[in-house]
Amino acid sequence: MACEKFVVNLYVRVSTDRQAREGDSLEEQENELKRFCEFRGFHIHQLYIEKGKSGGNTNRPEYKKLIKDIEAKKVNAVIVKKLDRLSRSLLDFENLMTVMQSNDVEFISIKESFDTTTAMGKAMLRVALVFAQLEREQTSERLIDVLDFRASQGMYNGGIRPYGYTNIDKELVPYKKEKEVLELIFKTFLDTESTTMVQNTLNESGLKNRNNNPWDKRAIEHILKNPVYIGKLRWKDSLHQGNHPPLISDTEFQKVQDIFEGRKCVRDSQKMKGLLKHLLECACGEDMRPSYTKKKNGVVYQYYRCASSMNPAKNQNCGHKYLNMDATNQFVFQTLLGCAEEAYLSQMKARIDSHNQKIQAQIDASETEIEGLESHLNEIKAKQEKYLDSLITHQFTTNERQLINAKLEEFSLQEKQARGTIYKQRFEVSQKTDQFISSDTLKKALIFLKVNYQTLPDKDLSKWLSQHVSRIVYVSDNKVDIRFKLFDDLVV
């Protein structure tokens, strides 16, 4: 390139975190480069300013313009304040040097005093770049270590914000508007066991997702399977106890997972409409599934089949492999009708009172624990204030100040963990409060069944069962254990 003056391009770059940490601002770099050119008598062709871009790759708009100037032979040299301003990648810089050399363009770095016109300068340049890349890789490793530690301490590492939460100061906080929809999703799924029904319910109610679009059942299934709603955080391949408050109880979440688990192996027999479908369980612990056999004369024989009969390893432990469907249905409902008798209702009330007393004792214990946690939280705050006051009122060495700041960070983490535990305990108290039982609800349901049993169609009987019964265990030909949803430990 023929020109009377030594023409140069200036390149400055800064990433946001480096600017904040080192004060190596764009303005400071620019001023230093211009003073250097003035001292050396260089003519500045162009100043390229790269804002908030990493030096780890070449996907930078101003960098690409610089390359075009080099290839067009518009300059004699490229000047930067420091080597890592131009590139932190050894491979990228090698490629850049090849382009510079083929176009007779020199490279000058003020801080490192590199001069590519000499062999020693080129060698020293490569050595420095190796260390620049090493620093970058070590920074990346440290960042990964920090994220792993944060996850192990139950702290949120970012990413797509879970539905039902908002992100405040890098912490997950319940978002009331979405939380109400989330609770509706779980409740509807538990009632219908269908993501399609949940989708229809939400869309028919005019409820939109976060992007203001209609709900999709795949997104609903993802929400239903996400452990973040019971206070867990998934990081890499592990689950950690999070500091954020749960939005769904463990029991409710597990019931949802059990429904999904039960769908993994769908058989033709499961498509039958048995009244006791999903409720009846064999004494051996396996499900009793609706099935049928079609005789040669065309008669269909319907029955409940123990799942152990499909597994040779378990087959020998079961004494009730097949149960006549009509007889079993009638036996179960006769047992339920017996629950509407005064003797059983009195016994049920006594058990429910005992249950309520246990719940109250658990609530009292949780309240005591919350008081202890709040006292511990106040102690942490007091220590924080003491250390902060010492920083203001005393003179410390740099090392001492670093130790105090590290201690303050430790207190801050302890405070977040304590607050998270307190919130979780209060959430559990709220959940336990909901577990108080009034015998009136079940009593009325049983009396309703007794009065209307003979006239209710199978559809209404099935609905009654799904509303009030959680499990039916076929113990023997003259005994079944019926567990009610209102009080799962209450055995008929």
251: CB partners within 8 A, 6+ apart: none
Contact of 223 with 210, CB cutoff 8 Å: no
Contact of 20 with 26, CB cutoff 8 Å: no
Please name the amino acid found at residue 420: G
Nearest alpha-carbon partner for 281 in 246, 348, 244, 328? 328
Contact of 216 with 199, CB cutoff 8 Å: yes
* Catalytic residue (one of 15, 54, 194, 466): 15
Where do we find the tokens 């340049």? 125
Q: What are phi and psi of 425, to 5 degrees?
A: -65, -40
Tokens at 114, concatenated: 């590199």
Which residues in 21-136 belong to E strands, given as ranges? Answer: 43-51, 77-80, 106-109, 114-115
Identify the three-state secondary structure at position 47. strand
- Given phi > 0 = left and psi -120 to 50 = alpha, else beta, which region is 113? left
Contact of 44 with 3, CB cutoff 8 Å: no
Nearest alpha-carbon partner for 487 in 289, 350, 362? 350
What is the rounded distance in angstroms from the CA atom of residue 137 to the CA atom of residue 144?
11
> DSSP code of 268?
G
Nearest alpha-carbon partner for 276 in 317, 327, 241, 225? 327
- Give DSSP secondary structure letters for 237-248: TEEEE-SSPPSS
Confirm whether 430 is a catalytic residue: no
Please name the amino acid found at residue 248: I
Contact of 215 with 199, CB cutoff 8 Å: yes
Q: What are phi and psi of 80, to 5 degrees?
A: -130, 165
Burial level of 105, CB count in 10 A (0-12/13-18/19+)? buried
Catalytic amino acids? 15
